[in-house]
Structure 1
Amino acid sequence: MPYPCEYNFTKSKSMALKPTIYKLNIALADLNNQHYPTLHLTMAQHPSETSERMLVRMLAFCRHSHADTHELMRFTKGLSATDEPDIWHKGLDDALNYWIDIGEPSFDRMKKACRLSKETYLYSFNSKSAVWWKQNQEQFTKLPIKVFSFDWTDIQSLAKHVGRTMNWSITISDESFFISTNETQIEVPWVSLL
């Protein structure tokens, strides 16, 4: 008979939560870059990740998926790997070209990202974004980073249409996404903070 601690360890290990897998087929029309691919994305939603955060990852991926980058753009392990961005673009020489993070990270994390990557991007989106930005703006202006913000209510509206398989059309024009789902059409603009 196993020791109680061994039994508990085995039991808790088998109960570990697994990520939820989503399939996205996106007809993308990036009018800003004259790029019109069809993206077939597989996204793993970490058990602690909200649908809203997952969708912001998807939008950031679409925005940076230019003709010269989309073949090498990758979702990383995200919340499962604290030393990686949410999305990266590595060159054929394995150099890190883009570091793309989602949320409201610390200054130290983004300072490290700027050292490791040629270009660093950050997308903030939740209800506390304005407070986070007010507290961190001065420090972030010292970094070679581009910071963008989505309105929380826009992202919440979009999250209502999440399904395990999504066939969406997304048009990027100026500073907005125009998203057509099976049920509705939603505009999701972004604001450049830095």
Structure 2
Amino acid sequence: MALKAIIYKAKVSLSDLDHNIYSDHELTIARHPSETEERMMIRLLAYVLNAPENNDHGTLEFGKDMWEADEPALSQHDLTGLLVHWIDLGQPDEKRLVRTCGRSRKVSVYSFANTAATWWAGLAGKFTRVQNLHVWQIPAAESQELGTLADRSMSLTITLQDGVLFVEEGGRTVELHLARLCGAE
């Protein structure tokens, strides 16, 4: 018998003091049996950081990347169905990034492994002319700590101030220092 996805519910309040953006989200997240809580929380964080202010240009949706290899972790399509934003997690290979950058207006990657800097160093020179690629590195120890905040029913407060993310849940706070490896703001 196949294992089923585990459902998580999250109420998230975002205060982005760096960009003067404030939003609230109620999310239902299906965690694949092979997905760690750490990766699921990175997916949730990527959603909150990239959610559009309104749905005039389409909504951001969780993808089926754990079920289908050619799918993103998150994607946004405009109202005509065109791909606006592709969001990947981890360390996608060069061919996937090239193909995706050609298909989407914006591509974001959130890498959270110890080997992220080495992975990107091997690819960085190949993407110097690409304008729509944004690569972020989350330190592995911080992303693992973020995973400890996962709960089947969460109420998260996320604050971005001076480039540092503070994620609070149930009196516990995790500090995340995202490093931009590629892409302009």
TM-score relative to the length of structure 2:
0.90
Q: Percent identity?
A: 33
| Alignment pair present for 1:77 and 2:54 | no
Q: Deviations over 1:33-75 (max 9, x none)?
A: 3222210011111121111111111111111124145961110
Higher percent of residues as helix: 1
Q: Match for residue 135 of structure 2?
A: 147
- Higher Rg of the two aligned structures: 1
Structure 1 counterpart of 2:84, from 97, 114, 124: 97
| Alignment pair present for 1:54 and 2:44 | no
Amino acid at match of 2:177: P
Q: Distance in 2 between matches of 1:152 and 1:82?
A: 23
Q: Distance in 2 between matches of 1:71 and 1:189?
A: 29
Off by >3 Å, runs of 4+ in structure 1: 68-71
Contact preservation (8 Å) 2:15, 2:22: yes
Q: Match for residue 108 of structure 2?
A: 121
Number of residue equivalences: 180
Amino acid at match of 1:43: I
Q: Give the deviation of 1:142 after TM superposition.
A: 4.2
Q: 3-state SS of the aligned residue for 2:108?
A: strand
Q: Distance in 2 between matches of 1:128 and 1:46?
A: 23
Alpha-carbon distance change, 27 to 109 in structure 1, aligned in 2, over 3 angstroms:
same
Contact preservation (8 Å) 2:73, 2:88: yes
Q: Deviations over 1:162-184 (max 9, x none)?
A: 11111111112242211111031
Contact preservation (8 Å) 1:73, 1:90: yes
Structure 1 counterpart of 2:49, from 63, 67, 85: 63
Amino acid at match of 1:154: E
Q: Which runs of 5+ in 1 are unaligned?
A: 1-14
Q: Give the deviation of 1:191 after TM superposition.
A: 0.4
Contact preservation (8 Å) 1:35, 1:66: no
